[in-house]
Structures are given as C-alpha cells and as structure tokens.
Amino acid sequence: MNNEDYQDWKNHPITKIVLTNIDAALEDVRKRSPLKETLDQTAMQASYDEGFCEGVSVFIQWIEIKELNMESENED
C-alpha cells in the first residue's frame, strides 16, 4: 500500500465510520461490567472483551506504524 492508497483509505467515509464504531465499542467494553449470572458466563464475557480490546490494539498499532512509515517516506 503506497502513501496515496493509505491516505485514500484513511480518509474514506466508511473507514471513518468503522473507526468511530470501534471507539464506541471500546468505550462500551470499558464501561460494562463483565460480571454475569454465572462464573462461566463471566469468564466468557471477560475473555471476549479482552480479545476484542487486543484486536483493536493490534489494528491501532498497524495504523500508527503505517503513518510513521508514510512520514519517513515523505522526509526522504
């Protein structure tokens, strides 16, 4: 993905909607208690929330790395 492709992707309205939805979902996970009716349900909810947050973290890191690479290419 070159710089132009990345900028097109990042500025696309659908990308902005997806990123906004991810932010809202993260906020929901942070506010919601994982405590459920049973220990098994609590463990499943906590595992789901942790996996979701980890996936978002990896995605955000990818975006940050991509942006750093684009900045270094522009400096050359």
Report pLDDT digits (tens) over 61-76.
999 998 888 888 777 6
Answer for the pair 26, 53: CB distance below 8 angstroms, yes or no: yes
DSSP element (H, E) containing 39:
helix 39-75
Q: pTM of the full predicted structure?
A: 0.72
| Number of domains the chain contains | 1
Report pLDDT digits (tens) over 16-65.
999 999 999 999 998 988 899 999 999 999 999 999 999 999 999 999 99
Domain that includes residue 67, residue range: 3-75
| Pick from 1, 60, 69: nearest CA to 25 | 60
